[in-house]
Amino acid sequence: MLERTRSALLIVPVVAAALVAGAPGIACLALLVAGFGGRETERLLAGTGRPVIRGGTAGGAIALVVVAALPPAATSLGLPGPAGDAAAAAARLGLVAAGLILVAMGLVALGRRDPADGFAAWAGSAFGAVYVGQVGAAAFLATPALWTWGGGPGWLAERAWPLVLVTAVWSFDSGAYLVGRAVGRRPFFAWISPKKTLEGVVGGLVVATIAVAAGLASAGGNPAEALLLGPLLGLAAQAGDLAESLLKRSAGAKDSGTLLPGHGGVLDRIDSFLFAAPVLAAYVALIHG
């Protein structure tokens, strides 16, 4: 518990500093976690006994984050960016980048003498790049044009949705952990994560909904949206955590790494965000786009 507290004291200020810095800070943080998380994912994929393209997962993930972060960061800094709305430009560039990454890894895989080995390396590394590269959605959410209601333009314009994302994920994790320890009895996906309970998940969803409502209200938004958005992001966060646990179990690993004492690796800290961020980005684009 002491090690977890120490790591939290390190993580929270870093995330807070990125949020205060706005789109450029969020982009830099996303790039860092994509790099470290990509390396850890590559090691886990190799641990499953399947071949990988060395550096492909981390490099591909970083490329996807750069593409997602470039338009909002350029807009925030007043620099010339892609023509048209920055959010739409990021989406278009993201599709192109994903395709180019798939092509590039396919070309590298062609150099392997064993076709089965080459295909496995291509599929695994491309999956890893897209999986970790989803953190780019957090940078995409820093696009000022996405915050078109509530607080309107100004300081919150490029921070409101990232704040909602962080609030939802951290509150769900905390609520699920505390409620699960206090009253958890019924296992939840025990074959993947034995310590998770259904009571903990329900508690996390309740806490996340309350926290998201408070966050929306404080930002000038409609707190009633939390009735949908809170459970949606909470379930996405839980799915992200379970998905990473599935990968770790396949590789026979307890943690993704050792960089953060008490927390394991970077991937262990961002797994929930990897699913919650694109879900929130889709929600914002559909409801507030």
The dihedrals phi and psi of 187, each to the nearest 5 degrees, come to -65, 150
Residue 289 has a pLDDT of: 65
pLDDT of residue 84: 47
Residue 149: its pLDDT value, please?
Answer: 60
Angle at which helices 2-21 and 23-47 pack, to 10 degrees?
140
Total structural domains within the chain: 1
pLDDT value at position 83?
Answer: 44
Main-chain phi, psi angles of 61, to 5 degrees = -65, -45
Residue ranges, the chain, pLDDT below 50: 1, 83-84
Q: What is the CA radius of gyration of the chain?
A: 19
> In the numeric block, which tokens belong to residue 165?
């994302």
Domain that holds residue 187: 2-287
The model's pLDDT over 134-163, given as tens digits with 9 standing for 90+, comes to: 999 998 898 877 776 655 556 777 788 999
Count of C-beta atoms within a 10 Å radius of residue 162: 26
Q: What is the pTM of this model?
A: 0.90
